[in-house]
Amino acid sequence: MDLNPYEIPNHLMEGSTASQGRQLAATLRIGRVLRGQVLETFGGNSYLIRVGKHRFSLMADVALQAGQEFLFRVEKGREEGERKLTILSDPGLTEFRLRDALRMVLQQDQPLGDLMISLGESIVSTLGEGGRDQGIASELLDVLEEHLLQPGADGLELADVLNRIGLGYEAGLLRAGALSKDLVDLLELDRDLKAQLLAATDYVEDGPLADSIQRALQGLEAEQVLQVARQVEGDPNHWTFPIRDGDRWVCANLFAQHKIVGPEDPIATPRWRVTLGVEFASIGPVRVDFTLGAGGVTMRMLVTDKGLVPGLQERAKGLQDAIADIVDIGIDKEFLPARVTVFCAPPEDVDVTQRHLDIGFLRHRKVLDLRG
């Protein structure tokens, strides 16, 4: 079962004691992941819950039943001193897959690309409000622009964005230790997103902008851990990054997998599989699947709007010819001509946003009991 978060605004109910308030502050600290159990229901979505040895009354916007258990994360509420509990599993579920538990610990609710977009919105808000952080906000906006894929970008520009998105920062530092200064300069570690976000934390004041930077760093580091799990299992590598779509930014998902092809494999076995998914304002969600192997090059585009297919298929002819020319001048003489097709498909086949949650390493190690 995938994570299905429910937001529960948490209030101490009228009549709560000062002692209970102190217990609340000590136990429900911001950022903690805890297990709760419903002890009593009072009607009107009022409940008595137990967290460890402590008991608290709360108001919830979801229906709970006595005896149900759930994991939740503690977050800031709307009012000063208020807490919001976000349930991380369906109430009643007490055994969790390693995947779910790891995501709870990492607190990764959004892919990195979405977090970069949220950070950009926070930066723009800070620039509009004025104040001391305007200078660092302006610099950060330039940083994010450098990591934004622009319309018409080619493969080299995409590779540059992916190389500097922060997932390989520590690996780059290790490599730098064994290289000369001239070669270290070629790595451009100072332009790495993680390096730039870490540097910004030294200058920004506490507040919404600092919180957004921390969320982006947490999401980036969580993605680094999950990327390791993908590689151990042989899953495709995965990146999320923002793309400019008119006057807005949208999040793209890119999956890439390489297979060592042996002489026993059929000629049609692809050496590379690449999937790109993004939702544009003008044409809606788009999925592109690209495979390359001794059997040739194939590119399949999926859209949800049937009316788009004829026009896109017509434009695909030129792309097919261009790819065929590249193949013909011979990356490898055994390649067959390229083929590009466009199809209409249901939304669930086009949308790849949930695919990044499905990691074989975690899926195959399913049960982790968090009741103890």
Same domain as 167, residue 293: no
Residue 307 lies in a domain: yes
Number of H helices, E strands in the chain: 12, 14
DSSP run (H or E) holding 110: none
Radius of gyration of the chain (CA): 25
On whether residue 243 sits in a domain, the answer given is: no
Share of the chain above pLDDT 90, in %: 13
173 and 77 in one domain?
Answer: no
Same domain, yes or no, for 75 and 102?
Answer: no
Instruction: Please tell me whether residues 115 and 215 are part of one structural domain.
Output: yes
Check if the beta carbon of residue 254 is closer than 8 Å to that of residue 319.
no
CATH of residue 84: 2.40.50
- Same domain? For 219 and 121 the reply is yes
Mark whether 13 and 27 lie in a shared domain: yes
Residues in CB range of 25: below 8 A, 6 or more apart: 81
pLDDT number for residue 309: 92
176 and 127, same structural domain?
yes
- Give pLDDT, residue 278: 92
Would 208 be classed as within a structural domain?
Answer: yes
The answer to whether 352 touches 275, Cβ cutoff 8 Å, is: yes
For residue 360, being part of any structural domain is answered with no
Same domain? 89 vs 133: no
Q: pLDDT tens-digit profile of 325-344? A: 765 544 454 555 778 899 99
- pLDDT at position 344 is 93
Judgement on whether residues 101 and 229 belong to the same structural domain of the protein:
yes
Among 61, 93, 125, identify where a domain stops: 93
Which residues span the domain enclosing 37?
6-93
Residue 227 resides in a domain: yes
Does a structural domain hold residue 45?
yes
Is residue 250 assigned to a domain? no
316 pLDDT exceeds 80? yes
> pLDDT class for 355, splitting at 50, 70, 90?
confident
Share of the chain above pLDDT 70, in %: 74
Last residue of a domain, one of 93, 121, 143: 93
Specify whether 228 is located in the same domain as 340.
no
* Torsion of the alpha carbons at 159, 165, 168 and 172, rounded to the nearest 10: 80
By the 8 A CB rule, do 197 and 214 touch?
no
List, as one string, the DSSP characters of 49-69: EEETTEEEEEE-SS---TT-E
Phi-psi region at 310: left, alpha or beta (left = phi > 0; alpha = psi -120 to 50): alpha
Q: How many domains does the chain have?
A: 3
pLDDT of 94 reads 44
Averaged pLDDT, 50-67: 78
User: Residue 241: inside a domain, yes or no?
Assistant: no
- Mean residue pLDDT of the chain comes to 77
- Segment 38-67 mean pLDDT: 80
Q: Is the pLDDT of residue 282 over 90?
A: no
81 and 106 fall within a common domain: no
Last residue of a domain, one of 93, 113, 146: 93
Beta bridge partners of residue 95, listed in sequence order: 369
* Whether residue 132 is found in the same domain as residue 201: yes
**Does the pLDDT at position 214 exceed 60?**
yes
What would the DSSP string read from start to end of 187-202?
HTGGGSHHHHHHHHTT
- As a whole number of Å, the end-to-end CA separation of the chain is 21
